[in-house]
Amino acid sequence: MLLAPVEYARPSSVDEAVRLLGAHDGARPLAGGQTLTNVMKARAAAPDVLVDLNDLDELRAISRVDGDVELGAMVTLSALLRSAEVGEARPMLAEVASHVADVQVRNRGTVGGNICSNDPTNHLPPVVAALGATMTIRGAEGERTVGAEEFFLGVYMTAVAPGELLTKISIPAGHGVRDGFASVPIGKDGTCIVNAAATVREGQARIALGCVAAVPVLLTCAAEEAAVREAVQGAALDPPSDVHASADYRRHLAEIVAVRAVEDAD
């Protein structure tokens, strides 16, 4: 289906992008367009103005700041998996990015778009939640930072309000921490049925489960199989049933992928 008519703006600075987003009630940022153009074609979203972020090179930087990894919101999944900084500091991020969809989607799709769309089956929301990332958001009132626990609000909903822009994702330095990821996808690199990211420090695991709720489900427990299983069972998960898995099967898989993610971190 063709796109409905829509106004289009291509700002050359973050300030201009924020001004445009604030000036039009129905304005939406356009990043890689891998989700947004599809939902617009399906008439599930109808922004009045698309504010295209693709000229904003300042949002494409990957840097190390005091050991932390800072990712501009427009870093593509392909850039993430090729980055020396990411490979050195938190290689799990690159490993996960390499399993998202296919090369075309990874070349266009961005880290910011992936977490701002907060599709519960996406790979990156549980990853940034487990890593304890901090998101920087710019709006007309200035800049604020939001931790991963407060960032994801619901299906397709995040702390980025209308008129605001996610500019940066800061991943803490992983000194003494090991990271792991596990999933059961539909096909080799397809959409996840259930996934889990984990970080392990001094025998303690922080696990974020994906695809089982509207937002990543965070758990902390000892990094041992029995403790991980007990933590998942105690989370009283109420996942959706769909053509790919019943709620019971998703609950079962959640235990399995949580254990595997913690083992992957060892």
Ligand X SMILES: Cc1cc2nc3c(=O)[nH]c(=O)nc-3n(C[C@H](O)[C@H](O)[C@H](O)COP(=O)(O)OP(=O)(O)OC[C@H]3O[C@@H](n4cnc5c(N)ncnc54)[C@H](O)[C@@H]3O)c2cc1C
Residues that bind ligand X (CB under 6 A): 28-36, 53, 73, 77, 100-101, 105, 108-110, 112-114, 116-117, 122-124, 160, 165-166, 190-191
- The count of other CB atoms within 10 Å of the CB of residue 91 is 14
List C-alpha distances in Å: 57 to 8, 70, 245.
19, 14, 41
CB of 126 to ligand X, least distance (A): 10
DSSP SS3 for 165: strand
Which CB, 151 or 223, lies closer to ligand X? Answer: 151
Cα distance between residue 198 and residue 182, in whole Å? 9
Cα distance between residue 85 and residue 74, in whole Å? 16
Which CB, 175 or 188, lies closer to ligand X? Answer: 188
Which CB, 6 or 101, lies closer to ligand X? Answer: 101
Alpha helices by DSSP H, listed for 48-90, are 77-82, 84-89
Pairing relationship of beta strands 49-52 and 7-9 according to DSSP bridges: parallel
CB of 106 to ligand X, least distance (A): 7
Which CB, 40 or 228, lies closer to ligand X? Answer: 40
Cβ atoms of residues 209 and 229 within 8 Å:
no
Cα distance between residue 205 and residue 265, in whole Å? 9
CB of 115 to ligand X, least distance (A): 8
The residue at minimum Cβ distance from ligand X is 113
Going by C-alpha positions, the residue among 221, 156, 96 that lies closest to residue 255 is 221
The number of C-alpha atoms within 13 Å of 169 and in the hemisphere containing its C-beta is: 30
Which CB, 136 or 173, lies closer to ligand X? Answer: 136
Which CB, 77 or 205, lies closer to ligand X? Answer: 77
Q: Could you give the angle at which helices 225-234 and 247-265 cross, rounded to 10 degrees? A: 140
Which CB, 122 or 199, lies closer to ligand X? Answer: 122
DSSP label of 152: E
CB of 256 to ligand X, least distance (A): 19
Query: In 3-state terms, the chain is what percent helix, strand and coil (to 5)?
Result: 35, 30, 35
CB of 6 to ligand X, least distance (A): 12
CB of 226 to ligand X, least distance (A): 30
CB of 113 to ligand X, least distance (A): 2
